[in-house]
Structure formats: structure tokens, C-alpha cells
Amino acid sequence: MLRTPSGGAGHGTTATDSGLMSIGTVLNVLRDEFPEVTISKIRFLESEGLIEPQRTPSGYRKFSAHDVERLCHVLRMQRDHYLPLKVIREHLEAMERGEAVQLPALGRQLDGNALPEPAEAPTAARIGREDLLAAAGVDEQELSEWESYGLVTPLEDGAYDAESLTVAALVAELGRFGIEPRHLRVMKAAADREAGLVDQVVAPLKRHRNPQTRAHAQARAKELAGLTVKLHAALVQTALG
């Protein structure tokens, strides 16, 4: 059940007698469950057609209880399932048509936290910049900062692979604990060294004339990458005592 606070957030007024709310009031309502949400993000989701608040003659947005419930649904699908906005929009449209729909199984579990699955479904293989911003709950300035430190790197066409979504989600989560992108340079450097080590081991297999041997190199690289991640996690836990 929605809770309507007694005060706004510097943008408009609180809920009116008609039950409509200003964007500031909606922000206060959402922040109990979504403390990272911003007015800019609400406006962005509106621009993407995920919500359609009413407008006053002077142009102010007015949100109904249905609008807020829909916003909560969108934010939960981003937070809990890391779904691109296109998939969320299709899911909502199907629900409005009265269809029985299930969320795509795009997540995997890692130490109890859901993370995006790199290639389980076509919709998870690539993600646009705006979808990445919305999924991570950050703005252009923050994403540009991540890119400047090499934490997230776009593909040649400006899109991102699914693993970038995992990185973005984790960087954003670490940021809530006060860990800034500049603090993560050491992790990026360590990851690059580990990747170099794996590549060094499988390089002879990649250069082999036999196609089956070259195909085996990819599987071996994946196996070694998994082992280095486990070792890294174990070493961190050991260092923390």
C-alpha cells in the first residue's frame, strides 16, 4: 500500500484531493524502497514511455496511485532482474493485455546476489547506453567516470555487452558504501593481470592448427577464469580474517 508523505521534495506539492501526486511527493514515496532513485530517473522512465503521468495546464506532472505502482514495478524489475527497459516495456504491455507472463530468467546467483547472465537470452547479450544508465541507476557523468577508469567499456557501435551490466551494477552497489570508481583502479589492474595470465596459458591452444583444439582453448579459458575469480575471492576473505 502506498504511503503519501506530508511533505514534497522541492518540486510541487503533496497529493491533492484528487489523489494525484507531484513528482517530489512520488520521489519521497519511492525512496523508502528505492533510496537511489532520483527525479531525473523518474523523468527518464517517463521519456522512455514506461509511465505517463498527467500534466496540469502549466505543465507540472501529476502522478496517480497507478502511476506510482507501475514505477515501483519497473524499478523492481531493474533492481532484482537487471532487465533492459525494452524487456520491461514488453512485459508491462503484456500484463496490460491481460496475458499471463513470466519475467525472463536472465539472472544468476553469486554469493546470494542476483547478477545478470551474460548470454542466456538474446535480450541479455547487448544493452544500449540509456538502458545501462537506467539499470545501474546512475547518470551520464557517473558512467563517463567509470569509463575513464576502464571499469566499463562500450563496444565499437556504442552498445555494451551483458558483462558490462554486471560490472555497472556492482560498481553502483559499492558506491553506496562510499567506494568510489578511483578506488577500484587496483581491482581493474588486478583483473587485467589475471586475464593476461589466462590468455598466456591458452595462447598455444588458440594458435593450434586443429579446429577442435582451438575450440578447446575457449572452454579452458572459461574454466581458468572461474578458478581465478574463486581464488581472488578466497584471498580477499583470508586477508580480512
Domains of the chain by start residue, with CATH = 1-81 (1.10.1660.10), 106-179 (1.10.1660.10), 183-240 (no CATH)
Q: What is the pLDDT of residue 125?
A: 60
The reported pTM is 0.46
By mean pLDDT, which of 139-143, 167-171, 179-183, 211-215 is the weakest? 211-215
With cell 562500450, the residue in question is 154
How far is Cα 211 from Cα 82, in angstroms, rounded to an integer? 36
What count of other Cβ atoms lies within 10 Å of the Cβ of residue 11? Answer: 15
Residues in the chain: 241
Cβ-contact 23, 12 below 8 angstroms: yes
Q: What is the pLDDT of residue 5?
A: 38
Which 8-state DSSP code applies to residue 64?
Answer: -
Q: What is the pLDDT of residue 67?
A: 92
120, pLDDT greater than 50: no
> Quick one: pLDDT band at residue 103, thresholds 50, 70, 90?
low
Q: What is the pLDDT of residue 102?
A: 65
48, pLDDT greater than 80: yes
Q: What is the pLDDT of residue 54?
A: 93
Compute the mean pLDDT over every residue in the chain, rounded to the nearest whole number. 78
Residue-wise pLDDT tens digits, 152-187: 988 888 888 878 888 888 888 888 788 888 899 888
Q: What is the pLDDT of residue 168?
A: 86
Q: What is the pLDDT of residue 53?
A: 93
Higher per-residue pLDDT: 224 or 83: 224
119, pLDDT greater than 50: no
Residue 47 three-state SS: helix
205, pLDDT greater than 50: yes
105, pLDDT greater than 70: no
Strands, DSSP E only, in 39-83? 54-55, 61-62
Higher per-residue pLDDT: 111 or 23: 23
Task: State percent of the chain over pLDDT 90.
Answer: 10
Q: What type of residue is 33?
A: E
Cβ-contact 92, 50 below 8 angstroms: yes
With cell 528505492, the residue in question is 34
Task: State percent of the chain over pLDDT 70.
Answer: 81
Counting runs of H as helices and runs of E as strands, what totals does the chain give?
9, 6
Cβ-contact 14, 6 below 8 angstroms: yes
13, pLDDT greater than 60: no
CB neighbours of 15 closer than 8 A, spacing ≥ 6?
Answer: 4, 21, 22, 25
CA distances in angstroms from 137 to 86, 130, 225, listed in the order given: 16, 10, 28
Q: What is the pLDDT of residue 111?
A: 43
Closest CA to 53 of 11, 110, 100: 11
